[in-house]
Amino acid sequence: MHINDAVFLEDLCPKFRFRKWRKSIHRFTGKSCIYCGKPSESIDHVLPRSQGGLSTTENCVPACLSCNGDKSDENALYWYRRQKFYDPRRAMAIKAWLEGDLRLAIRLLQWANPNFKVSNKNYEKDDSEYKAA
């Protein structure tokens, strides 16, 4: 697909934009669950949609299905503190993520997981773009 076609498609089709946004969220953490570090298979709303949580980058984190399902409608930080895989660096990363500081969040995740690799080097540039989504 040509780059210009992609931009055009995105304008035409919000679903396409949404898929791209989801992908970018997984890229921020190198496709790993923000809570436990396993492969992220889903997007978790930190503040659940049932409690008014929005589908913004700040409120959506990559999560594996097990964390996402287990957390359910709970407050993410309270839930996370009770988990066996609790890591204070990850908790700080989640907080930073919620505050929209993806740069700090990613640095903390890297610290928590030395194998973690960021494939998307443009996250700073992309950040403002996705906030509007």
Query: How far apart are alpha carbons 112 and 87 in whole angstroms?
Result: 8
Please list, residue by residue across 54-83, b when 16 or more beta carbons sit within 10 angstroms of its beta carbon and e when fewer do: eeebbbbbbbbeebbeebeeeebeebbeee
For the bound state, the minimum distance from the C-beta of residue 103 to Zn ion, rounded and expressed in Å, comes to 22
The least distance separating Zn ion from the CB of residue 63, rounded to whole angstroms, comes to 5
User: Quick check: 94 binds Zn ion (CB under 5 A)?
Assistant: no
Q: Is 112 in the site for Zn ion (CB under 5 A)?
A: no
Q: Pick from 25, 33, 93, 109: which binds Zn ion (CB under 5 A)?
A: 33
Cβ closest to Zn ion, residue 40 vs residue 59: 40
List residues bridging with 32 in a β-sheet. 39
What's the closest the beta carbon of residue 133 comes to Zn ion, in angstroms? 24
